[in-house]
Structure 1
Amino acid sequence: MTDALSETARAALDTEPLTARTLAAAVPLDLDPDVGDTPLDRTALLEAARLEALRHGRGLVLPEHLLLACVRLTGGDLAAARERLQTLTARRALADYEALRPVDPADRPTAVLVAGLPGCGKSTLAESLARRLRAPVFSMDWQLGALVPFGLLRPDNTTAVAEVQMTAAAAGQLRLGLSVVLDATGHRRETRDRWRALTENLGGVFVGVECVCTDDALLRRRVDDRARGIPGWPATVTWEHVGRMRRLWEPWTEPHLLVDSATDSPEIAVRRVLDAIPAP
């Protein structure tokens, strides 16, 4: 059982009176506890916080674990609060990569983000581009599949873990002046903007590619028939998952290339992307 508190957690736990409001004020993280003035039971709060710490693989109760415990005890949306905490954790980690600079400022590597819904052909395109560019391709599904056997992924942390892993992989190459291809859903505007900024901070050129399939019947057949062979990762997804990702997709308003796998052959798609990459 976790029996240690960080100094900041101990200070937050010792606020008087101990209520959701005073705890939220002592721990300035937006995890959405009910900030009412109902007194909190210290024993129950600490026990719930210990469980949250253990869930996150920590032997130390941190202030954020107290806030999650507060959400639990006040009947808040604990799943949403846990996901927000993972997002905040990822943003802290990502800030370190955003501060990196290129080893040689004269280098002009390229980062190609191939994004889109499952079944739209983004992995096929990304792998073909990687072979043509002689550049590594970093796939979100391959990276996450490697973590599944260790039980490290949860509903609240998968998105955050995936983004940090992809960012770290890309940053390690770009800072050396080496080009990369990123194979990811890329449905969040914040993620796309972050990878563009990372590339430009490291002296590179960012090329965004949005893969679509305007023939839904064809898209569904592709999804149903997929067998990707990624260790630790499902061979395919459900059609309902495709619909959910479509609803989550945030419009890509920045300059990028649109490839329709219902009309563009793989060879044409590769040529279009290569033509969009500025010459060295």
Structure 2
Amino acid sequence: MSKEAEEKIRNKQLIIAMKGHPGTGKSTLAHALASALKFPLIDKDDIRDSTFPLHQHQQPAAGLNDLSYEAIWRVATTQLRLGLSVIIDSPLSRRAHLDRLLDLTATVGARLVIVECRPSDEAMWRERLEGREKSWHKPASWGELQELIKAYDGCSEYDVGNVPRMVVDTTAPNIGVEELVSSVVQFIASAWCPIPPPM
């Protein structure tokens, strides 16, 4: 990873928003980015896991999902008001979620970039999804994932406007997490932290 690009990113206040369906490698990449850049990581799964007692009392799943996002926005707002950059690990599956982030960036003066994980190797994606630790609120099988995507009814494929977005193939052959992190850092640096031309 380029030290120059890394330093340029650290000198800007950023929201790095992950995007993608379950099992696409978002969390692995988000954790690696947070570790490399030393940015706070806000993981929707951490928040959603904490709503399990409400789930046991038959609270509607949609309501708990909305509650999880509301918690993300509040935690992110606090971190950004402290002058920190943040990485938000969530599916970002609806345009309304992006709109909240855009409102947040306008409020605090931060810059937003989207890192979308889209595996090209469906078999590897399926293997990852079905091989990961089971959770009460995540699809556990390929069939469950397909039902979830179908329920989105295309709403997860929305126009992000002029927000810089990098689409990452997390199943590309011979490319490890370190290389992916490096390419994301270079992308962010070029999108929001352009290197001035030589004198």
Q: Distance in 2 between matches of 1:164 and 1:148?
A: 16
Q: Distance in 1 between matches of 2:136 and 2:35?
A: 23
Cα displacement string for residues 130-162 of structure 1 (whole angstroms, at most 9, x for unaligned residues):
111211111111111112135464224022112
Q: Distance in 2 between matches of 1:241 and 1:169?
A: 30
Q: Distance in 2 between matches of 1:156 and 1:207?
A: 26
Q: In 2 relative to 1, CA 266–128 (structure 1 residues): closer, same or farther, beyond 3 Å?
A: same
Q: In 2 relative to 1, CA 250–235 (structure 1 residues): closer, same or farther, beyond 3 Å?
A: closer
Q: In 2 relative to 1, CA 199–237 (structure 1 residues): closer, same or farther, beyond 3 Å?
A: farther
Matches within 5 A, 1:27-106: none
Amino acid at match of 1:111: I
Give 2:28's aligned residue.
124
Amino acid at match of 2:171: A
Matches within 5 A, 1:182-197: 182-197=88-103
Amino acid at match of 2:72: M
Give 1:262's aligned residue.
171
Cα displacement string for residues 64-100 of structure 1 (whole angstroms, at most 9, x for unaligned residues):
xxxxxxxxxxxxxxxxxxxxxxxxxxxxxxxxxxxxx
- Native 8 Å contact 1:207 1:276 kept in 2: no
Q: In 2 relative to 1, CA 131–142 (structure 1 residues): closer, same or farther, beyond 3 Å?
A: same
Aligned residue among 180, 185, 189 for 1:274:
185
So what's the TM-score if we normalise by structure 2? 0.77
Identical-pair percentage? 30
Alignment partner of 1:157: what SS?
helix
Give 2:74's aligned residue.
168
- Native 8 Å contact 1:187 1:245 kept in 2: no
- Native 8 Å contact 2:48 2:65 kept in 1: no
Alignment partner of 2:35: what SS?
helix
Q: Distance in 1 between matches of 2:133 and 2:67?
A: 24
Displacement of 1:251 in angstroms is: 1.6
Q: Distance in 1 between matches of 2:51 and 2:64?
A: 10
1:133 aligns with 2:37: yes
Report the structure number with the largest CA radius of gyration: 1
Amino acid at match of 1:274: V
Aligned residue among 115, 119, 133 for 1:227:
133
Q: Distance in 1 between matches of 2:84 and 2:33?
A: 14
Aligned residue among 147, 168, 176 for 1:244:
147
Displacement of 1:236 in angstroms is: 6.0
Q: Which moved more, 1:234-243 or 1:182-191?
A: 234-243
Q: Distance in 2 between matches of 1:253 and 1:234?
A: 27
Matches within 5 A, 1:185-224: 185-224=91-130
Amino acid at match of 2:46: W
Q: In 2 relative to 1, CA 225–167 (structure 1 residues): closer, same or farther, beyond 3 Å?
A: same
Q: Which moved more, 1:208-217 or 1:153-162?
A: 153-162
What is the Cα-based RMSD across aligned positions, in Å? 2.3
Higher relative contact order (CA 8 A, sep 6+): 2
- Native 8 Å contact 2:33 2:181 kept in 1: yes
Displacement of 1:216 in angstroms is: 1.1
Amino acid at match of 1:258: V
Structure 1: unaligned runs, 5 residues or longer: 1-106
